[in-house]
Amino acid sequence: MMSAGFITLFTREIKRFMKVMVQTVVTPFVSSFLYLLVFGVSLGSQVQVHGGVPYLAFLIPGLMMMGLMNNAFQNSSSSIVSSKFSGDLEDIRVAPITNQQIIWAMSLGGVVRGGLVALVTYVVGALFYYFQQGEILLIEHPLALMYFVIMGGLIFGMIGIAVAFWANSFDQLSAFSAFVLLPLTYLGGVFISVESLHPFWQTVAKLNPLLYLINGLRYGVLGVSDVEVSHSVILSMVGFVVFYGVSLWALRKGSFQRW
Amino acid sequence: MTLPLEIQHLKKSYGPVDAVRDVSFEVRPSEIFGLLGPNGAGKTTIISVVTTLEKPSSGVAKVFGEDVCANPMFTKRQLGVVHQEVINSGYFDVEEILEFQSGYYGLRKNTEHIHFLLHKLNLFEHRRKKVKQLSGGMKRRLMIAKALVHNPKLLLLDEPTAGVDISLRETLWDFVRELKKEGMSILLTTHYLEEAEMLCDRVGIINRGKVETMGPTKSIIKDFTQREMILTLNRDITVPKDMLLEKNEHTYRLLVSSGTHVGKVLTDLQVESAMIVDLEIKEGSLEQAFLRVLNTPEKSVKLKETHT
């Protein structure tokens, strides 16, 4: 896997999003800041979540995972779609790089960008938390946090790859974001604890796979979660295997040719 | 002898449309082979199959003896490709693009060769520019540099001089000749027939996905064109009507088949050497041959191959 082709492609992914820093890192910083200010600080004082955790603390890992998933997806999908548009995706197909190398390079690029956004969100959140609660928001389970950052980044990076190869236009790409990713994220327990829902809706919410990823990361940061952490660990592993297969299939069947 | 490129009975269909219908040809070591044809003849499709962008419907494409479908990692390393359309890569500058391209082929530290190519193609001072800041000619040269970063043994040039001005075109031709001299085998597709005539050792003319004729460039010209003989004499002679193009006083413009001996023509016309004031012979061009092949496909289907 660690061939020069893979390293080059991975480096290219990182350099690419660094070149459009404003869009890739600064924009998520602004949106996290606003979410934290409006929901965490202003509305948060009215909201009760289980386990006596302040709402602001509950919200921070949710926003971290939301930023991570969105950015990992955006990174691989917009990289591929813009390469389809400019034609340099053909260069990658013509070069001796395997589909596996493409998937790993692209999805690890997503992990780095998503991880960076999660880190920025954590730092901003921790500052708000410090001013509100007078104490530092410590990471309860760093290893669990790492696990869910990497898994979340890889899974959504791979979803991005699959969707970008499937998409025939920018419209289709944003349709997937708006009609699939966004609802699943908002209903996946970023802003609310599922325990506060009616039992029926609790059952429905638990069918949403994103709930497990979001709460896995929440466990990593706060040590609390709406779902069994072991379920989150297993489900993210399953998600990884499934989407690795899906993205591999998308690369085999999809076209590298220019739009 | 391992052939740099061998295409055997290649077919490629897109639904009901047959883009390539049973095409076979080869590129021999250190030769420039020209694949000529009108737009939509199937030239780019053949290149796409060789570069694995497209899978053939049937038939085989082999690069240095290996099937491109069975052993793509080997065949891709041997190939350099200059695509027909300019590739943009909006985020990066010229040098970064070439560094990435090297890396894709396993060369992580290739700066020396990249700088050599940049100098060679007069791009060195533009190495920090993005593609969109380059002129049309510079973009073309960048495409060529990109194809050569990994020292390929077989170069595929898909209409490399489309939309390029005449002076740059000549620079590129010189460069291609130099590459050939260094031992590179080259497949050139073009519809500039002058270009093919000057560069190619052998050509294949394809139309609607089929090879109409193939052979050494000179033989194709000889077989499908006629010579023009301009003969000025000191007195009048009788010339058969089908030979005579124009007569102006004692000057005759005659059409002579390329294979015919000049002496025999003069003897047949009963021209003695003392009668000849001036004699000029104009050879046919590849363009004339090309047009003849395309206009009379039924008569001209013949494969002229010199087996070595």
Nearest CB neighbour to A4, from listed B79, B96, B106: B106
Q: Which residue has the tokens 């985020």?
A: B91
User: Are B85 and B123 in a shared domain?
Assistant: yes
Pick from B73, B91, B130, B153 the residue to mutate for testing the A interface (most A CBs within 10 Å).
B91
CA distance A161 to chain B (A): 18
Give CA–CA dist B81/B98, Å, rounded.
Answer: 14
Q: Which residue, B177, B204, B221, sits at the end of a domain?
A: B221
Mean pLDDT computed over B57-71: 96
Provide the number of structural domains found in chain B.
Answer: 2
pLDDT of residue B242: 82
Asked whether residue B206 is assigned to any structural domain, the reply reads: yes
Residue B168 and residue B238 in one domain: no
Closest CA to A117 of A173, A163, A80, A72: A72
Going by DSSP bridges, is the β-strand pair B154-158/B185-190 parallel, antiparallel, or unpaired?
parallel
Is A163 a domain residue?
A: yes
Residue A31 lies in a domain: yes
More confident residue, B184 or A49: B184
From chain B residues 67-126, the ones with a CB under 8 A of any chain A CB are 72-74, 76-77, 79, 81, 83, 85-92, 96, 99-108
Residues B239 and B134 reside in one and the same domain:
no
Kindly state whether residue B304 falls inside one of the protein's structural domains: no
Residues in chain A with CB shorter than 8 Å from the CB of B86 are 87
Are B214 and B247 in a shared domain? no
| A8/chain B closest Cα distance in angstroms | 5
Share of chain A above pLDDT 90, in %: 61
Residue B256 has pLDDT above 80, yes or no: yes
User: What pTM was computed for the model?
Assistant: 0.86
> Which structural domain, as residue segments, surrounds residue B242?
226-282
**Burial letters for B261-295: b for 16+ Cβ neighbours within 10 Å, e otherwise?**
eeeebbeebebeeebeeeeeeeebebbebbebbbe
Whether residue B62 lies inside any domain: the answer is yes
Task: Examine the domain organization and report whether B114 and B240 are in the same domain.
Answer: no
How many structural domains comprise chain A? 1
Question: Is there a single domain that holds both residue B189 and residue B246?
Answer: no
Do the chains contact at A257 and B53, CB–CB below 8 Å?
Answer: yes
Task: Show which of B182, B203, B221 is a domain's final residue.
Answer: B221
Confirm whether B191 is domain-assigned.
Answer: yes
Q: Do A258 and B88 touch (CB under 8 A)?
A: no
Which residues does chain A have within 8 Å of residue B146's beta carbon, measured at their own beta carbons?
91
Of B51, B74, B103, the CB nearest to A94: B51
Residue B302 inside a domain? The answer is no
From the number of C-beta atoms within 10 Å of its C-beta (0-12, 13-18, 19+), residue A53 rates as: middle
Is the residue at A258 inside a domain?
Answer: no
Q: What is the pLDDT of residues A4-38, one digit of tens each?
A: 899 999 999 999 999 888 888 888 889 889 999 98
Specify the pLDDT at position A255.
77
A20–B53 C-beta distance less than 8 A: no
Distance, in angstroms, between A257 CA and closest chain B CA? 7
Same domain, B91 and B214: yes
Q: What is the pLDDT of residue A193?
A: 87
CA A192/CA A66 separation, integer angstroms: 13
Do A69 and A152 touch, CB atoms closer than 8 A? yes
On whether residue B308 sits in a domain, the answer given is no
Same-domain status, B127 and B175 = yes
Asked if residue A259 is part of any domain, the answer here is: no
Please tell me whether residues B100 and B138 are part of one structural domain. yes
Residue B194: what pLDDT? 87
**Which of B202, B221, B240 is the last residue in one of the domains?**
B221
Residue range(s) defining the domain that contains residue A91: 4-253
Q: Are residues B141 and B48 in the same domain?
A: yes
Q: Which of A8, A20, A93 to mutate to test the interface with B (most CBs of B within 10 A)?
A: A8
Strand arrangement of the beta sheet that strand B202-207 belongs to: B79-82, B154-158, B185-190, B32-36, B202-207, B210-216, B302-303
- Least confident residue range of A95-109, B180-194, B223-237: B223-237
Q: Indicate if B96 and B158 belong to the same structural domain.
A: yes
CATH number, domain containing residue B107: 3.40.50.300
What are the pLDDT digits (tens) for B24-47? 999 999 999 999 988 888 998 999
B167-170: long-range contacts, CB 8 A cutoff, minimum separation 24: B168/B137, B168/B140, B168/B141, B169/B195
**Do B241 and B158 share a domain, yes or no?**
no
What number is the average pLDDT over the span A181-204? Answer: 88
Predicted local distance difference test score (pLDDT) of residue B110: 92
Q: Taking 70 as the threshold, does the pLDDT of residue A50 lie above it? A: no
Model confidence at B108, in pLDDT bands (50, 70, 90)?
A: confident
Per-residue pLDDT at B298: 43
